[in-house]
Amino acid sequence: MSGDLKWNKILGAGLATAFVILMVKEGTAFIYHTEAPEKMGYFVDAPEEAVGGAAEVALAPDWGTVLPAADLAAGEAAFARCKSCHTIEAGGANGIGPNLFGVMGGPLMHASGFAYSDAFRAHKAEAPTWTLDEMDQFLTAPGRHVPGTKMSFAGIRDTNTRVNLIAWLRSQGSGGMAVPAPDPARQPGAVPAVSVEGEAPTAGAEAAAGDAGGQSGAAPADGPAGQATTQASPVAAH
């Protein structure tokens, strides 16, 4: 009889232990309940556009003016938000995104072994090179500029921050990328050229287009400076 009571006590103790563990687990889940974010990605606070208002056409940066005056230290600080996905050192390994040494002036898809998205492969036909304008537009809103990109970064809406970051990226292995001459059509107060279907471009647009890639920021095709940019790799090219 005593032997039966002994086994009953052991079984009861085991059941009580299992019950306590279950209660602790459920209680912990209730106290520390979390919900998944509605939208993944790095959030960058930016003012919303006025609802119902006319869309403001912003002038592209005048790279010949803003690059020489850019704050490289601020650009390096801005790159801190990119370090979780990218390396910048020469010969650095690819991470979630490709290594970015020499990115400016380089091809859109450069890193051997990196799995570029189909969206980037398609975008390459439209923009094969990381020009200054291309990088600026991509950093402003990656998902809008390259729909379907795997990069979840929301973008940098502040123009000065983008200019500083692009200037710093250029200093990391892209020194052969020429700084274009200042463009009066991009100076403050200039009226942006707006293309209207069925109408010819304005004189200002023709002048800007005739600047043989000046504001596009393409590297020289010949000479040591041009050779230096052939090692470039794209920023956040997913």
Q: What is the pLDDT of residues 146-201, one digit of tens each?
A: 999 888 889 999 999 999 999 999 999 998 899 999 999 998 777 655 544 444 44
Residue 23 phi, psi dihedral angles, 5° rounding: -65, -40
Q: What is the pLDDT of residue 39?
A: 47
Give the pLDDT confidence score for residue 231 in this predicted structure: 35
Contact 138, 41 (CB under 8 A): no
pLDDT tens for each residue of 63-114: 999 999 999 999 999 999 999 999 989 988 988 988 888 889 989 887 777 7
Mean pLDDT taken over the chain: 74
232 band by pLDDT with thresholds 50, 70 and 90:
very low
Q: What is the pTM of this model?
A: 0.61
- Domain over 80-183+213-238 is classified CATH 1.10.760.10: yes
Complete DSSP assignment for 21-74: HHHHHHHHHHHT-----SS-S-----PPPPTTSPPP-PPPP-HHHHTTT--HHH
- Residue 194: what pLDDT? 54
The average pLDDT across 201-229 equals 41
Q: Which residues contact 163 (CB under 8 A, 6 or more apart)?
A: 61, 66, 67, 70, 136
Please name the residue that has the structure tokens 């990069």. 151
Total length of the chain: 238
